[in-house]
Amino acid sequence: MATVKVHGSVFSTASQRVLVCLHEKELDFEFVPVDMSSGDHKKPPFLSLNPFGQLPAFEEGDLKLFESRAITQYISHTNPNKGNQLICQDPKKMAIMSVWMEVEAHEFDPPSSKLAWEQAFKPMFGMTTDVAVVEENEAKLAKVLDIYEARLAQSKYMGGDCFTLVDLHHLPNIQYLMDTQSKKLFDSRPHVRTWCSDILARPNWLKVVAMKNN
């Protein structure tokens, strides 16, 4: 396997998704920081890796990928025998996993990303949180988490019996929201609360949190 390079930022949720996946699979990689404050992700050298100018980008020899969820799937499919298993081999179980991967991307990510932006990122940049946007997106996220509560009453993890990419894809936004008032949405639902405590405590995730805090 050629050396893996991840071009990203330790603060970007999509970059974190790829980093935790590489740690879970116990793969070596080179992390290439992209300076978002200088707009480097919107300039030509980075745009040749991802024409949409979004972090992260992934290189393995001549293979260049972007879109964090496509990258984590590639890593997991091509390294079945390394680190932790993050996907299911059985096609029906894989299909159920795919359903919940789509749910994370289309239902969970939009409101949780907006809540993280308003409450975690804006204060970092000295900007003011928009309370109306927070209220609107907390209401949306609450409805999604009601369905998660029912799912987690039946299944230990969101994708099935064991930790998979479905759970992993949730980690960055949940981590940011744990330091905001939106934490209450997770804490007030017992199965969701237990699931969060479990996945946030994974040593491979804590390595990514440590990169951000250093």
3-class DSSP state of 65: strand
Least distance in angstroms from the C-beta of 184 to a second copy: 22
Q: Using the rule CB under 8 A, is 44 a contact of a second copy?
A: no
Residues between 132 and 151 that touch a second copy (CB under 8 A): 147, 150-151
Q: Which of 91, 128, 131, 132 binds a second copy (CB under 8 A)?
A: 91
Which pairs with CB-CB distance under 8 Å and at least 24 residues apart come from 54-57?
Answer: 54/14, 55/7, 55/8, 55/9, 55/12, 55/14, 55/15, 56/6, 56/7, 56/8, 56/9, 56/12, 56/14, 56/15, 56/18, 57/6, 57/7, 57/8
Q: Minimum distance from CB of 168 to a second copy (Å)? A: 16
Please report how close the Cβ of residue 2 comes to a second copy at its closest, in angstroms.
11
- Torsion angles phi and psi, residue 92, rounded to 5: -70, -40
C-alpha–C-alpha distance, residues 102 and 121, integer Å: 25
Among 26, 30, 35, 78, binds a second copy (CB under 8 A): 78
CB of 42 to a second copy, least distance (A): 12
Of 78 and 194, nearer to a second copy (C-beta) is: 78
Question: In this chain, which of 10, 31, 84, 107 binds a second copy, going by CB under 8 A?
Answer: 107
Residue number with CB closer to a second copy (110 or 178): 110
Q: Using CB under 8 A as the criterion, which residues of the chain lie in contact with a second copy when the complex forms?
A: 51-52, 63, 65-67, 69-71, 73-74, 77-78, 91-92, 94-96, 98-99, 101-103, 105-107, 147, 150-151
